[in-house]
A and B are shown apart, each in its own frame.
Chain A
């Protein structure tokens, strides 16, 4: 840690290449990150960011190329090696041990101990000091259990873990995707503090405004190769997007204004209540997009799960096209014409070890069978049709889904529901972790669905997305709908006001 760190890069990667079965994930990538700066790493999904991070983390070894830290050649064969060299990666979903305290979670693997005895009091004191040092005293309770933590707190634990050893390079992999705006502020304060302490910070995100807020330089990757590195202050969003996709992307959110549909709503929810959501009333018409906005923890995903019967419901009524339906599980919901693409595609939607075809046809097997035998020709045709229509980038439909990029995996989930042709489709965070190009394609699909008369509910934490995509916006807070806004009256400020309001009398909450 010398003072002339500004001159020599803290981390330098030269000619890094990595190939996975059939896919060149990285092609001779060059990269420098300097101490005392934040370098954003930008690229579409599948551009090679994750591979690069995994190499830095010691989880993958490059096929060729070198890494050096402060001018010294390093080679990591395990995450431990990377930690020893002072390189830490903060992933989106950190591993947290549920049944132990925050303090023990932070010092896991490095408990301050005498012999094999560690003292809880000493540990706790140390964590309290750490929290105070980084200004998190109010954000994190050292005695809370791992299972009680919000996504933001889990990330803080992971960051504090990293800081228990001396850190020279720290990389954040889309840290804000599950954070609320206030939590993002806390994170940014920490990142600036780390930067000022001379750490080289690498920041991976799809969110342009964050990149302009926090980074000093931006490195862009495309198709596994370096496109270039630019100084943040000397560039703009349009230019970065051009670098990422190799083409101009204008009007990503193309949703035409259309008159509010009348008649019978495709989906009516009346007085729906369970442990997480309370007294929900909603109506969605065919051909309409209803956006559901709210801060993290507002109960949006819980509402979706309650509607499709994936969690038990205490009270309330659901009507499809005006007819009451009894839903006691996702199976009933699907039969009633309600499809649901959940938030966590890997954990809740995809069969990662099965093919694109298997994944697309999962919800329609009962429709394409004859005497329980699945008609393979028809199955393939359906898989081919939607692979083409959604431009899923895969060598063929027999490809295993785990080998696809995040955006293409999400398109596979969408294809499953498109194939089912539901009356109502609920999409929970359909573009999370998806690159700009795939996002635009997903928006186009949503537009097409509504043009075909399907009612779509989109849950999203990204306000511009909700505002651009929705005909109407329902805002939730604390498990209740605190207000509903028409597209014409919705602004970021009004949505946020409702999301943080807490009482229904706030201006703008009126229907």
Chain B
């Protein structure tokens, strides 16, 4: 991979360095064992569902899967960033619900979709700032802090909306475009997910920001001693999470035609974390890719769609999802070489 540079500086008569790994190992290293397993799992799943019901392969069904996974996908992508840093954001679903309500309510009073969306996004940023500051300056564990705001943001959303769906956006062209429009034949929703995923992927892989995020998750002390401003990164990542949660909230509003304080956003945090974990993001941070997460999002979407078109009781879908989260983490831990010893 880097042989041109290697040749220039190669040392001659050094005590033999360990052998360079062969190409299968290097290919595996480049693609990642995790991603290959996900692709295989996806292929198996598609084969099973397709064999049972041929409607599965219809373009309309594939579009259904794509648009259904968008909201979860957005949250999973940003959850990946937070988890890579060594954190966790349980409040993304609640923040999305809050943003959904805010976007619809502001839209109703201003009759401007743009203002509604903008205020919703600002709300999302504010939720992120709050999470970040509590975690950094209150020195509160990320799980506890966002568990608290998980309840808090949800309460706030219910409070301002009286716990009811708000407004009607189904006639506004902007919201309709977001929910059902398409560009070049591909639904807008899918475009939004693809663009965000690509942007985050490029950020993680090619910028110093991404590299510093991996470094912090891998070893926060080492990152700090190497001159990385940890606080800024923590707050920044939670702000990103809040912002993306707000985008997800706006899309929820667009899809359902009204602002939803809880329905539609409940359980999104679990799905996002499941997708990230299944995609190979280490729970302790520092390891994982957007590619893996997106593959896992698609896998979960296909599973859900498949279970639906095979008429499986929807409660089973929850069970399947909980099961997958545990299995994903078990596989992760095994691959880290951890032995089965009791944990507190």
A362 touches B215 (CB 8 A): yes
A353 touches B286 (CB 8 A): yes
B15 touches A393 (CB 8 A): yes
A contacts with B, residue count (CB < 8 A): 47
- A207 at the A/B interface (Cβ < 8 Å)? no
A353 touches B218 (CB 8 A): yes
A369 touches B207 (CB 8 A): yes
Number of residue pairs A-B, CB distance < 8 angstroms: 117
Tell me whether A372 and B287 are in contact in the complex, defined as CB-CB below 8 angstroms, given that A22-B21, A352-B219 are known contacts. Answer: no
Question: In the assembled complex, how far is the CB of residue B158 from the closest CB belonging to chain A, in whole angstroms?
Answer: 40
Question: How far apart sit A380 and B227, CA to CA, in the bound complex (Å)?
Answer: 21
Residues of B within 8 A of A416 (CB): 226
Tell me whether A335 and B227 are in contact in the complex, defined as CB-CB below 8 angstroms, given that A353-B286, A388-B11 are known contacts. Answer: yes
Tell me whether A353 and B215 are in contact in the complex, defined as CB-CB below 8 angstroms, given that A329-B224, A373-B207, A395-B20 are known contacts. Answer: no
B18 touches A330 (CB 8 A): no
- A347 at the A/B interface (Cβ < 8 Å)? yes
Task: Give the contact stretch, choosing among B1-9, B36-44, B103-111.
Answer: B1-9
B1 touches A391 (CB 8 A): no
- B228 at the A/B interface (Cβ < 8 Å)? yes
Residues of B within 8 A of A78 (CB): 339
Question: How far apart sit A23 and B20, CA to CA, in the bound complex (Å)?
Answer: 10
A354 touches B215 (CB 8 A): yes
- B221 at the A/B interface (Cβ < 8 Å)? yes
A350 touches B222 (CB 8 A): yes
Question: In the assembled complex, how far is the CB of residue B315 from the closest CB belonging to chain A, in whole angstroms?
Answer: 38
Question: In the assembled complex, how far is the CB of residue B86 from the closest CB belonging to chain A, in whole angstroms?
Answer: 12
A347 touches B221 (CB 8 A): yes
- Residue in A22, A365, A372 with the greatest tally of chain B CB atoms within 10 Å: A365
Question: In the assembled complex, how far is the CB of residue A186 from the closest CB belonging to chain B, in whole angstroms?
Answer: 31
Question: In the assembled complex, how far is the CB of residue B46 from the closest CB belonging to chain A, in whole angstroms?
Answer: 32
Tell me whether A384 and B6 are in contact in the complex, defined as CB-CB below 8 angstroms, given that A373-B206, A394-B18, A395-B21 are known contacts. Answer: yes
- A275 at the A/B interface (Cβ < 8 Å)? no
- A398 at the A/B interface (Cβ < 8 Å)? yes
Question: How far apart sit A384 and B226, CA to CA, in the bound complex (Å)?
Answer: 20
Partner of A388, one of B10, B18, B215: B10
Tell me whether A330 and B226 are in contact in the complex, defined as CB-CB below 8 angstroms, given that A369-B208, A380-B5, A398-B2 are known contacts. Answer: yes
Partner of B224, one of A310, A353, A380, A387: A310
Interface residues of B in 189-237 (CB under 8 A from A): 206-209, 211-212, 214-215, 218-219, 221-229
Tell me whether A372 and B11 are in contact in the complex, defined as CB-CB below 8 angstroms, given that A348-B221, A381-B5, A397-B2 are known contacts. Answer: no
Question: How far apart sit A381 and B14, CA to CA, in the bound complex (Å)?
Answer: 20
Closest to B30 in A: A398
- A122 at the A/B interface (Cβ < 8 Å)? no
Question: How far apart sit A502 and B228, CA to CA, in the bound complex (Å)?
Answer: 38
Question: In the assembled complex, how far is the CB of residue A312 from the closest CB belonging to chain B, in whole angstroms?
Answer: 14
Interface residues of A in 379-402 (CB under 8 A from B): 380-381, 384-385, 387-388, 391, 393-398
Question: In the assembled complex, how far is the CB of residue A328 from the closest CB belonging to chain B, in whole angstroms?
Answer: 11
- A471 at the A/B interface (Cβ < 8 Å)? no
- B319 at the A/B interface (Cβ < 8 Å)? no
Question: How far apart sit A350 and B220, CA to CA, in the bound complex (Å)?
Answer: 10
Partner of B18, one of A335, A340, A352, A393: A393
Partner of A362, one of B21, B226, B339: B226
A384 touches B215 (CB 8 A): no
Question: In the assembled complex, how far is the CB of residue A397 from the closest CB belonging to chain B, in whole angstroms?
Answer: 7
Residues of A within 8 A of B11 (CB): 388, 391
Question: How far apart sit A365 and B226, CA to CA, in the bound complex (Å)?
Answer: 10
Residues of B within 8 A of A335 (CB): 227
When each residue 37-75 of chain B gets 1 if its CB lies under 8 Å from chain A and 0 otherwise, what string results?
000000000000000000000000000000000000000
Partner of A363, one of B207, B226, B229: B226
Interface residues of A in 280-310 (CB under 8 A from B): 308, 310
Residues of A within 8 A of B21 (CB): 22, 395
Residues of B within 8 A of A487 (CB): none
Partner of B209, one of A348, A354, A372: A372
- Residue in B207, B219, B221 with the greatest tally of chain A CB atoms within 10 Å: B219
Question: In the assembled complex, how far is the CB of residue B286 from the closest CB belonging to chain A, in whole angstroms?
Answer: 6
Question: How far apart sit A78 and B225, CA to CA, in the bound complex (Å)?
Answer: 36
B contacts with A, residue count (CB < 8 A): 39
- B17 at the A/B interface (Cβ < 8 Å)? yes
Residues of B within 8 A of A104 (CB): none
Partner of A374, one of B17, B211, B219: B211
Residues of B within 8 A of A365 (CB): 208, 211-212
- B184 at the A/B interface (Cβ < 8 Å)? no
Question: In the assembled complex, how far is the CB of residue A26 from the closest CB belonging to chain B, in whole angstroms?
Answer: 14
A380 touches B2 (CB 8 A): yes
Question: How far apart sit A362 and B220, CA to CA, in the bound complex (Å)?
Answer: 12
- A334 at the A/B interface (Cβ < 8 Å)? yes
- A358 at the A/B interface (Cβ < 8 Å)? yes
- B29 at the A/B interface (Cβ < 8 Å)? yes
Closest to A382 in B: B5
- B19 at the A/B interface (Cβ < 8 Å)? yes
Residues of A within 8 A of B15 (CB): 393
Partner of A396, one of B20, B215, B223: B20
A395 touches B18 (CB 8 A): yes
Residues of B within 8 A of A385 (CB): 9
Tell me whether A398 and B1 are in contact in the complex, defined as CB-CB below 8 angstroms, given that A23-B18, A331-B228 are known contacts. Answer: yes
Tell me whether A374 and B206 are in contact in the complex, defined as CB-CB below 8 angstroms, given that A381-B5, A385-B9, A397-B2 are known contacts. Answer: yes
Question: How far apart sit A350 and B215, CA to CA, in the bound complex (Å)?
Answer: 9
Question: In the assembled complex, how far is the CB of residue B268 from the closest CB belonging to chain A, in whole angstroms?
Answer: 29
A384 touches B2 (CB 8 A): yes
- Residue in B11, B18, B208, B214 with the greatest tally of chain A CB atoms within 10 Å: B18
Residues of B within 8 A of A372 (CB): 207-209
A384 touches B20 (CB 8 A): no
Tell me whether A22 and B18 are in contact in the complex, defined as CB-CB below 8 angstroms, given that A381-B5, A388-B9 are known contacts. Answer: yes
Residues of B within 8 A of A347 (CB): 219, 221
Where the two chains meet, the residues of A that have a C-beta atom closer than 8 Å to any C-beta of B are 22-23, 78, 308, 310, 329-331, 333-335, 340, 342, 347-354, 358, 361-363, 365-366, 369, 372-374, 376-377, 380-381, 384-385, 387-388, 391, 393-398, 416
3 interchain residue pairs of minimum CB distance: A365-B208, A351-B218, A334-B227
Of the A-B pairs whose beta carbons lie under 8 Å apart in the complex, a sample of 20, sorted by A's number, is A22-B25, A23-B18, A310-B224, A334-B227, A342-B221, A347-B219, A350-B222, A351-B223, A366-B227, A372-B207, A372-B209, A374-B206, A381-B5, A384-B2, A384-B6, A384-B9, A388-B10, A388-B11, A397-B6, A398-B1
Known contacts A22-B21, A351-B223, A373-B207; 8 further A-B pairs (Cβ under 8 A): A329-B224, A348-B225, A350-B219, A372-B207, A381-B5, A388-B10, A394-B18, A395-B17
